[in-house]
Amino acid sequence: MRPDMPADHTTEAERLLRTAARYPEDQEPLLLQAAAHLELAGARDRASGLYDQLLSTGPDHPGTDHPQLVKALKAANLWEFGHEPEARTIIDGVRLASPLEPAPWEIIAETLERHDEPEAAHDTFTAALNLLLTPGEEVPYATHALLIGRHRTRRLLGLEHDAWDSLADQVNPASVPLDELHDPKRLWALGSDNPEELQAEINRLRAELGSYRTALSRPFPVAVLHWPEGELGELIAAYPPLAEEYHSHEAHLARVETALRELAAAGTPNLGVVTGTVPSYEAFAASEAAPPTATALLPLYATTLAARGRALPWPPPRNAGCWCGSGAPYRQCHGAA
């Protein structure tokens, strides 16, 4: 959720706030980015105000689609500027809510870790993985950071490797093994007078920094476009030539799942699903000065929705609802073999 580092975070935050005012349908991702820039600028009170705005509801405040994520970010921010009791209360609430998305868990666990509470951080990472992952099943891309974070706290606590640690080694993007990256003894190496030890530690730090840069520069998900049944019917009624692209809603859903599985089998990371609506598609077509019947617009529309923070990670975490909106768990819907 944290942005890259522009020269003036306050200016970037103000730009994002103006954009959010112009495009209220994209308010949530824009306000979250603005809050992150305000935190980096030291304006933590203003950042907290944006989190409160997202959590409030009313005629002028539609609320947030991800309340536990916003609460986790608010807790991390509050703790940083001296409101530890309130932050702890929010963290306890997030854990009790047991969100089925990895990001809130990652944020509260790293907050606890950053404030010298490795046992609590380890317990939080573990609770998240037990909720979101099933041993032997595919590991969603969004949960990789949970596995790696748990490995880090276990090394700090001196605990033996377990099955989750082995899985963390498999998803580690760095060229240096996690046991080296997370070795507590590395802190002592920085004070060594031995040039070889110092050079080895520099190489490890470069590898670790490389993985962080990769995470920061990671593009938005490779997204596949999904139309709910009502929207697809309205789309075909308004633009009959698109019936050649969408023969039926059932066939459309099957094609979405098949496309995602093929991309995953080809090694494509960070996959997602975006949900289209007819009004936003028409607005997109107008912005591209192209007719809505042009099928070449459809993947561009999906990419644009993903870039605006509208993608849901695929595959969904364990027990999470299916991306198709049926209300059934993914494992019992399109995730079934």
Lowest-pLDDT range of 69-73, 158-162, 190-194 = 190-194
What local confidence, expressed as pLDDT, does residue 1 receive?
A: 40
CB atoms within 10 A of CB 243: 13
What local confidence, expressed as pLDDT, does residue 235 receive?
A: 94
- Please tell me the distance from the alpha carbon of residue 179 to that of residue 184, in angstroms, as a whole number: 9
pTM across the whole model: 0.68
What local confidence, expressed as pLDDT, does residue 221 receive?
A: 74
- Please tell me the distance from the alpha carbon of residue 53 to that of residue 60, in angstroms, as a whole number: 10
Q: Where is pLDDT greater, at 59 or 108? A: 108
- Please tell me the distance from the alpha carbon of residue 83 to that of residue 105, in angstroms, as a whole number: 20
Lowest-pLDDT range of 199-213, 277-291, 295-309 = 199-213
pLDDT tens digits along 322-334: 999 998 988 889 9
Banded pLDDT at 265 (limits 50, 70, 90) = confident
- Please tell me the distance from the alpha carbon of residue 293 to that of residue 300, in angstroms, as a whole number: 13
User: Long-range CB contacts (< 8 A, 24+ apart) of 261-264?
Assistant: 263/222, 263/224, 264/138, 264/315
Q: Is residue 64 predicted with pLDDT exceeding 90?
A: no
Banded pLDDT at 190 (limits 50, 70, 90) = low
Contacts of 130 (CB under 8 A, 6+ apart): none
What local confidence, expressed as pLDDT, does residue 262 receive?
A: 92
What local confidence, expressed as pLDDT, does residue 131 receive?
A: 92
Q: Is residue 313 predicted with pLDDT exceeding 60?
A: yes
pLDDT tens digits along 102-122: 999 999 999 999 898 999 999
What local confidence, expressed as pLDDT, does residue 204 receive?
A: 63
Banded pLDDT at 261 (limits 50, 70, 90) = very high
What local confidence, expressed as pLDDT, does residue 136 receive?
A: 76
Q: Is residue 245 predicted with pLDDT exceeding 70?
A: yes
Q: Is residue 97 predicted with pLDDT exceeding 80?
A: yes
What local confidence, expressed as pLDDT, does residue 87 receive?
A: 94
What Cα–Cα distance (Å) separates residue 198 from each residue in 137, 150, 191, 194, 203?
40, 27, 8, 6, 9
Banded pLDDT at 216 (limits 50, 70, 90) = very low
| Phi, then psi, of 271 in degrees rounded to 5 | -85, 155
CB atoms within 10 A of CB 297: 17
Q: Is residue 10 predicted with pLDDT exceeding 80?
A: yes
